[in-house]
Amino acid sequence: MATNFLIIGQGDIGLPVTNALAAQGKAVTGLARGVQTNYELHAAAQFLQADATQLTAEQLQPFSHIAIIVTPNEYSETAYRHTYLGIAEHIADLADHLPNLQRLVFISSTGVYGQDAGEWIDETVQPLPPKRQGSQYILAAEKTLQNAFVNKTIIIRPSGIYGKQRLMRIRQAQKADSIILPAYEWTNRIIDTDLVTVIVKVLTLTDNTRLKPLYIATDYRPVTSYELTCWLCEQLGTAQPSIDMTKGASGKRLHSNIPLDWLNYPDWQLGYQLILATL
């Protein structure tokens, strides 16, 4: 069977993945609930307007590779339940009717790790139960797909995504003199363009022996919120935040298992330098 890709979700990450595959000459279809004119699809890409929770086996049977790259419309428990777990459960129910499926890639989140005391996390560490209900639904979606598709399933857990249109940390640094940050609140970063590259690599890698069942999609340099904000303030010429030394370590430090040559920005400083140059 010829390789045929379906990208469920045409948002800020899903759409660039679809377009990157089309630019490589791959047979790819982008799926979204909105009409096609809402999305700047590559001319070579196909489009399917549908609700992923209503897809039939007949609609999915032509595809050898499926990626689920979705986000809820709102940050509510109901939206997370429907978007992540709802789609996973529905597609899992169709597993026995998808004989052509070779690979299913699910874009999860490092929020599924409930660890929150500055621990080091690598691909061998099992998540503690996450506190956020939304993250619990994402973790349940992972398990649902793994149970249904077994070794065909690949999980990608991105850390904090930043980019030219994702400027939350920069906006925070622009008014940092009014905030107080803990000294040891650990965070992890990946620039959105590198995340797209990672997903495309995982989808298109032909040597199954090189594939991992789980990717922690983050750069190679965890950083505290305080250090990150101070560095951004230096670049912007703004006053730095105050520091709170009374709190213990929080957050987590992630060991990336992304091959270094897949990342154009393996260090958050390199990524933010690119973005700051465009402001």
In the chain, what percentage of residues exceed pLDDT 70? 100
Inform me whether the pLDDT recorded for 1 exceeds 80.
no
At 50, phi and psi to the nearest 5? -165, 160
pLDDT of residue 178: 87
Inform me whether the pLDDT recorded for 111 exceeds 80.
yes
d(CA 165, CA 168): 9
pLDDT of residue 177: 84
Residues 267 and 274: beta-carbon distance below 8 Å: no
Residues 165 and 239: beta-carbon distance below 8 Å: no
pTM of the model: 0.96
pLDDT of residue 228: 96
Binning pLDDT at 50, 70 and 90, where does residue 35 land?
very high
pLDDT of residue 73: 87
Residues 109 and 240: beta-carbon distance below 8 Å: no
pLDDT of residue 110: 98
Mean model confidence pLDDT for the chain? 96
Dig out the tokens for 224 from the structure: 């505290």
Query: Between the CA of residue 270 and those of 150, 162, 257, 276, what are the distances in Å?
Result: 37, 12, 19, 10
pLDDT of residue 257: 98
Domain formed by 5-164+189-219, architecture = 3-Layer(aba) Sandwich (3.40)
Per-residue pLDDT reduced to its tens digit, 140-182: 999 999 999 999 999 999 999 999 999 999 999 998 888 999 9
Per-residue pLDDT reduced to its tens digit, 59-98: 999 999 999 999 998 889 999 999 999 999 999 999 999 9
